[in-house]
Amino acid sequence: MASVCFLGCGNLGTAILVGYLKATSSRGAVSACVTSPSSVQRILSILESEVPMEVSTVSVTCETQEIERCIASSQVIILGCKPQVLPAVGAQFRALFTEAHTVVSLLAGVKLAKLFETVGVENIVRAMPNTPAMVGAGMTALCGQFGPFKKSILKIFESCGKVLEIDESKFDAVTAVSGSGPAYVYMFIEALTEGGVRMGLPYATSLELASQTVLGAATMVGGTQNPAVLKAQVMSPAGTTIAGVATLEDHGLRAAVMNAVKAAADRSAELGK
């Protein structure tokens, strides 16, 4: 397994780091580089509670010299900063990147060509994970040139969910479906919960019913089953479910979701210009 440096390790980077440490006992060196002592403390305390046996195996630092040492001694660099600070990160560390590195970017909307301009190495992978990576149920799309570390890079993302390789030309659509998608699903869970409250359930009970129902339905679909077939299995003739489904159709649920995906993909394309 390659040695890995998380250059910028906030919410998403830490989730991927923890997933990777939990899933792999035999691996190369791992480091996490941030900008402030408070972030070092934050990461160390998450590691302490999530993977206590691994705390001493990870170098967590905000010292420039140590960050430079981590970059130079790693094979895979996971860029986990925000897109706005990419130019500053590039200016600060570009001289340390060599053709022996593969750079994997988590940055939403930043294209491979822009990443190449910034870091100047051939082997660059663009990743679009989503926040359920934090509970090991993420969906990550990957594209780009993996170099010699493909197995290690796949392992890193598979440790926090599913992984698909998808051409970069489809990344705006991917962003709109799986990147932004958790927010749409949270809205649905919220609405289902409040519907239950409207009909007399306590909020906590309704939330539990709604969230477990979404989890169960997603597990039934499992990425491959046709949801229309599964939906038909729930609807008895003239029953309760078809009454609810007809109301959702009347209010344009499907058109609203499809239009939301188009709006998010259009926005992603606009931000990527």
Ligand X SMILES: NC(=O)c1ccc[n+]([C@@H]2O[C@H](COP(=O)([O-])OP(=O)(O)OC[C@H]3O[C@@H](n4cnc5c(N)ncnc54)[C@H](OP(=O)(O)O)[C@@H]3O)[C@@H](O)[C@H]2O)c1
The answer to whether 29 and 74 are in contact (CB under 8 A) is: yes
Token output for 189: 């869970």
Stretch that binds ligand X, among 128-136, 161-169, 197-205, 209-217 (CB under 6 A): 128-136
* Nearer to ligand X among residue 111 and residue 197 (C-beta): 111
222 is in an annotated binding site: no
Q: How far apart are CA 110 and CA 83, in angstroms?
A: 7
**Shortest distance, CB of residue 179 to ligand X, whole angstroms?**
5
Point out which span in 85-93, 225-233, 236-244, 262-270 binds ligand X (CB under 6 A): 85-93
CA distance 66 to 72: 10
* Least spacing, CB of residue 23 vs ligand X, in Å: 19
For 128, how many CA atoms within 13 A lie in the half-sphere containing its CB? 27
Residue 9 is assigned to a ligand binding site? yes
Containing 44, the helix (H) or strand (E) segment is helix 37-50
Which tokens sit at 114? 């822009």
30: contact with ligand X by CB under 6 A:
no
User: Whole-number minimum distance, CB 228 to ligand X, in Å?
Assistant: 29
Q: Do the bridges between strand 124-128 and strand 138-144 make them parallel or antiparallel, or are there none, so unpaired?
A: antiparallel
107 binds ligand X (CB under 6 A): yes
Residue 1 CB, nearest approach to ligand X (Å): 23
Q: Is 11 annotated as a binding residue?
A: yes
CB 24 within 8 A of CB 159: yes
Q: Annotated binding site for NADP(+), which residues?
A: 7-12
Instruction: Write out the residues near ligand X by the rule CB under 6 A.
Output: 7-13, 33-36, 39, 80-83, 85, 88-89, 106-108, 128-131, 179
